[in-house]
Structure 1
Amino acid sequence: MRVYLLLMLVAAAVTFLTTPFARWVALKSSAISAVRARDVHLVPTPRLGGLAMLIGIVVSVLLASQMPFLSGVFEDRQAWGIVGGAAIVCALGWADDKWDLDWVTKLAGQVLAAGFMALQGVQLITLPIAGTTITSSRTSLVITVLAVVVAMNAVNFVDGLDGLAAGIVAIGGAAFFLYTYGLTQQANPEDFASLASLMMAVLVGVCVGFLPYNFHPARIFMGDAGSMLIGLVMAGAAITVTGNVQPDVMTGSQALPAFIPLLLPVAVLMLPLLDMGLAVIRRLAAGKSPMAPDRMHLHHRMLALGHSHRRAVVILYVWTAVFAFSAAALVQWDWEIVLIWTTVFVVLALLATLGPLRNRGRFLDDDVALSGQTPKVPAAVGAAAPATAVAQSAGDGAADRHETHHGTHGENPAEAHVKTKETVE
């Protein structure tokens, strides 16, 4: 456990220290989120936080490869397959953030990254249904690529408020780490080394290291480079679990998570998957493209209920924790006990979502978050409304690049002017 915690700390520190560099690169390369009528943020904001996250992952995995405790993890190419796939989607996201790629090109890049990872051995060899084995290598490749692409786009869809995606993945990733570590302890009592635990510890670290810059009011967005990266790493870690869990060593109710190795990743991505599914159904029912923008995402509904930007994000954190830690608890406790406590926490989460707390807690009010800051609204926006008013009325981005570029940014006017100038150039 101490090795994983050390790697988590290293990943957080490296990401935190390199995020200003990523912000500088975004400004120099014009990877900046321009302000549109339907957005929440008030000034053009850099959106290349995924670069810092990639650096944090690479440094941490390189350090892990030199640790004797984890030497067995690097006996094959799976770890480097995940890192390589992350690098590919980070480059793809960078290009999309800069040039606004069309959805076909973006999908092709996602398939390329997922395929690269699969060819390095990160493939689904069993389905999460009674340990069903996939006998065809072609079928395994197709299902793996599909699962990874869905995970990347699910995280991309939910990344609509400052700190939302990074916080959800950090919380869910912590639960996933405990889940995989617990399974490894039971399946391999003499060796706790696990690629899934390693990648989840590193992923939690990079998200935590990025959050201080991304929580409302955000100074930088992770962009598609970040949202696709963390989605791919989450999917890669989930897939590697299928090759490390031995269901026959589990007994009783504890066999449930062993036979369903993808249960927790689904729980972690419950909100993103739900949001993406509802968006696709909603848009198709209206006769629109699944990629068409609208104002009906979960985070927009939270704002419509009267929650501030920060409060909406924190409540969605709570829902993620309820789903993720409930699934992780199945490793240690009987499902009946888990169900009882899950019901209790669901009720509490509902009270926080719909109850009187919508207007309580000054720390979570947007005016407090923006106190002492004087965001400059570019002339192109033509609005001088306070951030909270914009947050209530802002629309949604498109499901390709625009899903990831919301946020309220409170920077000094000089810096806002520089970014506005670079956007024009």
Structure 2
Amino acid sequence: MREYSLVLLTAFATTYLLAGLCRRLALRTGAVAQVRDRDVHAVPIPYFGGIAMLGGTAAAFLLAAQLPFLGRLAVVRNDAAAILLAGAVICVVGVLDDMYDLPARVKAAGQVLAAGIVVLYGVRMFWIALPNRIIVLDTASSILITVIFIFLCVNAINFVDGLDGLASGVVAIGALAFFSYTYLLAHEQDLVLATTASLVTVTVGGVCLGFLPHNFFPARMFMGDSGAMLLGLLMAASTISLTGQVDPAALSARGGGLLPSYLPIILPFAIMALPFLDLVLAYARRTRAGTWWFVADKNHLHHRLLQRGHSQVRACLLMYLWTGLLSFGVVAVGVIQSWWVVALVLAVAALAVWLTWMGPRRRMRAATGDGA
């Protein structure tokens, strides 16, 4: 755990320090987010947060390769190198998109290229755990599912990046929840504690926390597509790599054991629940309107929270709350498996529902003097 903590702190510090330099570079090169109809920021904001995130990821991975615990396994080093290379590719695509507004097809091709690099170096989905059985994938299915999963995660994070600090905070919470799961899984099942999934998720947590001071409302810089797509790739790769380094037989339910067999398939979707929900709703909404799924609008989940009367900060914190509830809630229920944990999760869920739906109404009534 000490080495993981050091990796997290390295990712945090490197990203935090690089962000200021990247902000100045963005201002000099004109890489600035102009104010558009669908945006919520009122003044132009510099991009290139993704470059700082890539730097933080590289520093964390390079440090891990030199540590006696994390660096001794060749599979972790090789996976990390492949993921970093793919991350660099997708970050470059994002930087070009931030500067020149690439066509959607070109950006999608870049995303598939990055996914292909991950697959080429052997980081792919090998099995899918279900409640009653484990499906072992053949090579063709493994490659196809891996590429599709990465593509979906990349675009889901990109879609949710619409408020100051939203994507970085949501991904940080999800990544740290996934890290807690992978670490507990390895510890309980007497597996090797050094896994690519744990390394990637703890790095992502550090990177996002390091960028958040620059990005929380009022934001001084944006991560842009370079950062959002990088985070999506890293989160997808962490899930995928787990299937290559953990024996699926170790995930069988053990009747009161620590982690039930279905948790590996549920947790990634719980962590990415809000981005995935936003992606699905956007696809359905835009298809119904007769437009392409990538045509931007102003009806994402965070936009709906603003429309209900929440401030930017409150809407962002609510998204944090829901992400923490779904990700850490699933981990807690799967790990402790006690009635009081379920009761606590349900109580927090009730509070989240009340804050989301009733909070704005009470404030609006108070502001108008209704019910006084």
**TM-score where L is the length of structure 2:** 0.91
Kindly indicate whether the alpha-carbon contact (under 8 Å) linking 2:35 and 2:43 is maintained by their aligned counterparts in 1: yes
Kindly indicate whether the alpha-carbon contact (under 8 Å) linking 1:131 and 1:260 is maintained by their aligned counterparts in 2: no
Q: In the alignment, which residue of structure 2 is the partner of 1:279?
A: 282
Deviations 1:224-273 (A, max 9, x none): 00000011001101111112333434512547644442322211110000
User: Which whole-Å CA distance do the structure 2 matches of 1:247 and 1:325 have between them?
Assistant: 22
Aligned residues: 358
Q: In the alignment, which residue of structure 2 is the partner of 1:56?
A: 56
User: Which whole-Å CA distance do the structure 1 matches of 2:223 and 2:29 have between them?
Assistant: 15
Matched, 1:245 2:246: yes
- Larger relative contact order (C-alpha < 8 A, sep ≥ 6)? 1
Question: Which residues in structure 2 correspond to 1:197-346 (within 5 Å)?
Answer: 197-249=198-250, 250=252, 251-254=254-257, 257-334=260-337, 338-346=341-349
RMSD of aligned Cα (Å): 1.8
CA positional deviation for 1:21: 0.9
CA positional deviation for 1:307: 0.7
CA positional deviation for 1:55: 0.3
Q: What is the SS of the residue equivalent to 1:332?
A: helix
CA positional deviation for 1:123: 0.3
Greater alpha carbon shift after TM alignment, 47-56 vs 33-42: 33-42
User: Which whole-Å CA distance do the structure 1 matches of 2:110 and 2:282 have between them?
Assistant: 23
Greater alpha carbon shift after TM alignment, 99-108 vs 258-267: 258-267
Any unmatched runs of 5+ in structure 2? 364-372
Q: What is the SS of the residue equivalent to 1:314?
A: helix
Name the aligned partner's letter for residue 182 of structure 2.
T
Name the aligned partner's letter for residue 307 of structure 2.
A
Q: In the alignment, which residue of structure 2 is the partner of 1:138?
A: 140
User: Which whole-Å CA distance do the structure 2 matches of 1:240 and 1:220 have between them?
Assistant: 31
User: Which whole-Å CA distance do the structure 2 matches of 1:128 and 1:244 have between them?
Assistant: 14
User: Which whole-Å CA distance do the structure 1 matches of 2:78 and 2:230 have between them?
Assistant: 19
Matched, 1:100 2:101: yes
CA positional deviation for 1:37: 3.1
User: Which whole-Å CA distance do the structure 1 matches of 2:295 and 2:288 have between them?
Assistant: 12
Name the aligned partner's letter for residue 150 of structure 2.
V
Kindly indicate whether the alpha-carbon contact (under 8 Å) linking 1:33 and 1:46 is maintained by their aligned counterparts in 2: yes
Deviations 1:193-245 (A, max 9, x none): 12111111110000000000000000000000000001100110111111233
Name the aligned partner's letter for residue 158 of structure 2.
N
Name the aligned partner's letter for residue 87 of structure 1.
A
Name the aligned partner's letter for residue 282 of structure 1.
R
Deviations 1:346-385 (A, max 9, x none): 101011112337777xxxxxxxxxxxxxxxxxxxxxxxxx
Name the aligned partner's letter for residue 199 of structure 1.
V
Kindly indicate whether the alpha-carbon contact (under 8 Å) linking 1:23 and 1:48 is maintained by their aligned counterparts in 2: yes
Kindly indicate whether the alpha-carbon contact (under 8 Å) linking 2:38 and 2:297 is maintained by their aligned counterparts in 1: no
Kindly indicate whether the alpha-carbon contact (under 8 Å) linking 1:93 and 1:226 is maintained by their aligned counterparts in 2: yes
Q: In the alignment, which residue of structure 1 is the partner of 2:16?
A: 16
User: Which whole-Å CA distance do the structure 1 matches of 2:20 and 2:313 have between them?
Assistant: 22
Kindly indicate whether the alpha-carbon contact (under 8 Å) linking 2:325 and 2:348 is maintained by their aligned counterparts in 1: yes
CA positional deviation for 1:181: 0.4
Name the aligned partner's letter for residue 28 of structure 2.
K
Q: 1:183 aligns with which of 179, 185, 210?
A: 185
User: Which whole-Å CA distance do the structure 1 matches of 2:342 and 2:102 have between them?
Assistant: 44
Q: In the alignment, which residue of structure 1 is the partner of 2:34?
A: 34
Q: In the alignment, which residue of structure 1 is the partner of 2:368?
A: none
Greater alpha carbon shift after TM alignment, 261-270 vs 115-124: 261-270
User: Which whole-Å CA distance do the structure 1 matches of 2:315 and 2:236 have between them?
Assistant: 26
Kindly indicate whether the alpha-carbon contact (under 8 Å) linking 2:159 and 2:278 is maintained by their aligned counterparts in 1: yes
Matched, 1:123 2:124: yes
Deviations 1:260-303 (A, max 9, x none): 42322211110000011011111111222212232221101111
Q: What is the SS of the residue equivalent to 1:58?
A: helix
Name the aligned partner's letter for residue 52 of structure 1.
A
Kindly indicate whether the alpha-carbon contact (under 8 Å) linking 1:254 and 1:333 is maintained by their aligned counterparts in 2: no
Kindly indicate whether the alpha-carbon contact (under 8 Å) linking 2:23 and 2:221 is maintained by their aligned counterparts in 1: yes
CA positional deviation for 1:171: 0.8
Q: What is the SS of the residue equivalent to 1:132?
A: strand
Name the aligned partner's letter for residue 174 of structure 1.
L
Kindly indicate whether the alpha-carbon contact (under 8 Å) linking 2:178 and 2:201 is maintained by their aligned counterparts in 1: yes
Kindly indicate whether the alpha-carbon contact (under 8 Å) linking 1:352 and 1:358 is maintained by their aligned counterparts in 2: no
Deviations 1:41-64 (A, max 9, x none): 122111110000000000111010
Q: What is the SS of the residue equivalent to 2:336?
A: coil
Percent identity between matched residues is 44
User: Which whole-Å CA distance do the structure 2 matches of 1:358 and 1:253 have between them?
Assistant: 44
Greater alpha carbon shift after TM alignment, 64-73 vs 103-112: 64-73
Q: In the alignment, which residue of structure 1 is the partner of 2:193?
A: 192
Deviations 1:70-128 (A, max 9, x none): 12443462111111111111100000001100010000000000110111111001124
CA positional deviation for 1:188: 2.8
